[in-house]
Structures are given as C-alpha cells and as structure tokens.
Chain A
Amino acid sequence: MAAPESLTAATAQDPFRSFAPLSARRLLVLAGIAMILAGMIFGDIFAVFVLHQNASRVGASLRAAAEAALAGDAGRVQASFADVGAFLENRGTKVDTHVHLIGFGFLALLLAILQPWVAISEKYLRRLAWLLVIGGVVLPSGVFLIHYVGLAYSPLQAIGWASIVADAGGLFVMIATGGYLYGLARRLANPLRNKRSDHLLSAPDGTGRLLFAGGLFLVLLGFLHGAYYAGADLYRHEAADYNLLSQIASGASAGNSIQVGRALQEYGLLQGDKAVNIAAHAHFAEFGLLAMLLGFFQPYVSLRQIWKRRWAGILLLGSALLPVCVLLEMRFGLVAGGLADFGGLLVIVAGFAMWVGILRYTGALDAEMGRRA
C-alpha cells in the first residue's frame, strides 16, 4: 500500500508519538467515533421500531384515562396514568441511551484534540482514556437496562441494579474528565509548558475546512430554527397544551364525549408538532458539532482526497436531510420519516468511512514505525 497523502502531510510533525499504538489519543479517536456511530445506529433503530409505537401507546393510555374520567371511574384514571408513566420511562431510557452514547463520543473526540495541552504523562492519560471509554459505554448500557431490570434483586428500595451500574459509568466519566481538566489546568498554570503545537491541527486540510464550515452552518441553522420556534410557536404550543387538557377534563366532567374526543385528537397532533420541532433543532446542532469535530481529524483519514471530499459531502447532506425531513413529518408523514431515516443512514455510512480511513492511517503509521525500528 502506498503511503497515504494524510500520512505524508502529518508526518512532518509527530504523529508517531501522539498517535502511537495503544496511545490515549488513538483510543479516544477510534472509540469516540465508534460510540457516536453506535449511538446513531441505536437512534435509527429506536426511531423505526420503538418511537412511533411507543407514542401510540402513550396516546392510547391518555385516551383511556380520559374515557375513564368520562365514565366517572376515578380508579381507572389513575391506573391509566400509571401506564403512561411506564411507557414514558421506556421511551426516556431509550432516548437517554442514544443521547449519552453520542455525547460521550463527542467528549472522547474533544479530549483527543486537547491531548497535547494536557500536562499528564502518557501512561496516566491512557488510563484516563480507558476509564472514559468504559464509563461512556457502561452508562448508556445501564440506562438501557433500567426499564427491563427494574428493582429485581436490588439492595435499595427505589434504585435498581441497572441504575447503580449506570451511575458507576457516570462516575468513571467524571473521574476521567476531571483528570483531563486537572492536566489542562497544570499546563495553563505553567507558562513554560504553554507553547505547544499539535501536528493534527497544524496540518492544512481542505476537507477539514469544508466540514468545519458546513458544521458551523448546521449549528447556525439549528439556532435560527430554535429562535423561530421560540418566537412563533413555543408560547402558542404551551397555551394549547393547557387548553386542550382543560377541554378534556371539563368535557369529561360534563359527560361531553364529542368534546373529549376532539380535544384528545388535537392534543396528539400538538405533541407530534412539538416533538418534531425539538428533534429538528437538536439534530441540526448535534450534526453540526459532529461535522466540525470530524473535520479536525481529517489529516488522520487515510483515503484519497477525492473520497475524503465525497464522504464529507455525504455527511453534510445527511446532516441537513434528517432534521429538514423530521420537520416535514407532520405534513408528509411516513415519506418524510423515511427520508429522515435515510439522512441518518448517510451520516452513519460517511462516519463509518472516515473511521475506516483513520484505521487505515493507524495501519500505515504502525508499518512505518516497524520499518524504522
């Protein structure tokens, strides 16, 4: 295999040391991208197989509570709300698994970039990196299991084993992040250590610039959409939420089933409208950050320049397609939903291609190191 462009560009400085086999940076980059991809694949599976079905069950339970109120059965109202709680817990733990895997992946990439400014020996950095990766996987896994494990065999009254395991994962991540912050503070406190350059950020890369610009643009779109939503819809939605629930309650009190049915239908549509707006806003921002972070690692992506550009373009296309189509879901239903999932798939495929490119880079780097030794 010929020496890849990115290797020759970056070897001018010192990737052999900072990106050596089993180094903290290599671990954080490869594990960080893998965690982001795993979180996104989980999110796509959740969106296709769980999200809508779960929303239907929540809606059905709310309808059952309203019908019980209409029939004057206070006991059944409370039982129906207990069901709503269980469905919301199921949904909430799935969303948390998705969000935390991706969030810890972002954190791993961020710490990988900051590595040269962390004044701690490589041996301890490696331990902290492992701690972060283990905690970053254990916490979402524990959160995922909360709904299924419940309080079985738990030594505590209100917290189950899955929550305890998740909390332990969170503690690992906190210790690792605290260690990195301590290292950063040590470097800031010692001016002699401040003059430090990093081959990763100083290696010029056109694809990195493209991803940085595209990512900034996506974050800006997310913020503009959020500002528009806050100005045009947020207060209207909040008022409608209260008014519709009041109509359900007053209709049930008065025995007016038509009013209850109509209000329930509008309430379902309102929740859908709110959900797509929040999801679009969050995904614009998250994909923007992902594009910018991946942009910094482009010198490590050992692919031909044309393919690096193509994968960057596909990642940006998918990153824009998903939130735009999520927004259109209320109007175009499953077609828009399918396109949104396709957008997510494009991001996953492009991210995986970059991950493979980095893996190729490590292979080339290790071979070169072996040859020199």
Chain B
Amino acid sequence: MSAKRVLLVGGIGVALLGMTYGLWYAVFAEHQALDGIGASLTAGLTSAAQRDQAKSAEALQRYRVAKYKYERQVDAHSHWLGLAMVLIVVGIGIDYVRLSRKQKLFLSWGLLIGSVLFPLSVLLQTVSAGPDPKILAVLGSALVILALLGAIVGVLRRPAAA
C-alpha cells in the first residue's frame, strides 16, 4: 500500500469515525451534558444564596465532573475531524515530500496511528482517571508531531540530482 493511499483512505476513515462519534454525541449526550453543567452551576450559587454550603459544594462538584467529561468528549470529536483533514491534505500533497517510498510509508502510518490514538486517549480519560490514557495521549501526540516534522524535512529537502 502506498503512503498516499494510507493517508487518503485513513483520513476518510478517521473523518467517518469523528463524524459518527459526533452524531451519536449530539443526539444522545450533548444536550444532557450542557443541561447538567448549567443546572449544577446554577444550583451551586442558588444553594450559596440559601446559605447551604454542603449542597452548594456538592452541586459544584457535579459541575466539575460534568465539565471535565464534556470538554474531553468535544475535544475527541474535533481532533478526530481536524486530524482527518490533515491526513487527507498531506496525502494529496505527499508527492512534495522528498523521502524514499519506505520513509514516506513509515511517516504515513505514524501520522495515521497518532491521529486515531490521540483523540481516543482523550476520550478514554472520561472513563479512566489512571495514568494509562495520559500515556497514550503523549504517545499519540508524539507520533503526530514526529510525522509532521518528518514531512517538513522531506518538503524542504533539495531534489536529488538527475
């Protein structure tokens, strides 16, 4: 499989993944999440107005958890779509990258794996508070950064003498 095909087919696949997740999220989770954030924040200050500190603290704790989850769910969706776009555009322009066929293939797989892994790890942070999702996030983003660096080096390389 050529680097171009890995990036184009992979990019479309990641875009479909991001859109499918986004659609599910918008229909079944987003409004509930936003309602939860708004209601818990209002309840926090309403309870404070009623001088009920325990209830206020409890409501703000709910706000904290709901916002933490909401931000990661939206981040996963937007990063999948953004990275899909990067994959497709780099795939179209891969001929500008002056690297060997093998190097380009290596770079493409790195970019594709990183683009799937990074948003997935962000999403996993909503179900696991342990270090594993964070390690995956670092790994995924490192793969994307290294692949982009490799592509830049390839584009800036002088053409080989005929």
A residues whose Cβ falls under 8 Å from a Cβ of B: 65-66, 68-74, 77-78, 81, 85, 106, 110, 113-114, 181, 184, 201, 208-209, 212-213, 215-217, 219-220, 223-224, 226-227, 230, 238, 241-242, 245-246, 248-250, 252-253, 285, 289, 292-293, 295-296
Contacts and interface: CB of A to CB of B under 8 A. Distances in A.
A213 B152 contact: yes
A220 B89 contact: no
Contacts of B60: 242, 245-246, 249
A74 B49 contact: yes
Contacts, number: 121
B142 to A, nearest CB: 8
A238 B67 CA distance: 9
Interface of B: 12, 38, 41-42, 44-53, 56-57, 60, 63-64, 67-68, 71, 82, 85-86, 88-90, 92-93, 95-96, 137, 141, 144-145, 148-149, 151-152, 155-156
Given A113-B92, A241-B67, A249-B56, A72 B44 contact: no
B47 A249 contact: yes
Contacts of A184: 12
Contacts of A81: 38, 41-42, 45
Nearest to B78: A282
B52 to A, nearest CB: 7
A354 to B, nearest CB: 17
29 contacts: A68-B49, A74-B46, A77-B42, A78-B42, A81-B45, A106-B85, A114-B92, A201-B92, A201-B95, A208-B96, A215-B89, A216-B148, A216-B151, A217-B152, A220-B145, A220-B152, A230-B137, A238-B67, A238-B68, A242-B60, A242-B63, A245-B63, A246-B57, A249-B44, A249-B56, A249-B57, A252-B45, A253-B52, A292-B93
B93 A69 contact: no
B50 A292 contact: no
Among B45, B68, B96, B148, max chain A CB count under 10 A is at B45
Given A69-B48, A110-B88, A295-B93, A181 B12 contact: yes
A91 to B, nearest CB: 14
Given A70-B49, A110-B89, A216-B90, 5 more contacts: A68-B49, A81-B41, A212-B155, A220-B149, A248-B48
A31 B47 CA distance: 53
Contacts of B89: 110, 215, 289, 292-293
The 5 closest A-B pairs by CB, nearest first: A249-B48, A69-B49, A252-B48, A74-B49, A220-B148
A285 B82 contact: yes
Contacts of B151: 216
A275 to B, nearest CB: 13
Contacts of A72: 49-51
Contacts of B86: 219, 285, 289
Contacts of B93: 212, 292, 295-296
Nearest to A216: B152
B141 A223 contact: yes
B48 A250 contact: yes
A248 B45 contact: yes
Given A66-B45, A78-B46, A253 B145 contact: no
A157 B50 CA distance: 33
Nearest to A215: B89
Among A72, A212, A230, max chain B CB count under 10 A is at A212
Given A212-B155, A245-B63, A292-B89, A65 B95 contact: no
A184 B16 CA distance: 14
Contacts of B155: 209, 212-213, 216
Given A209-B96, A213-B155, A216-B155, A77 B57 contact: no
A201 B95 CA distance: 9
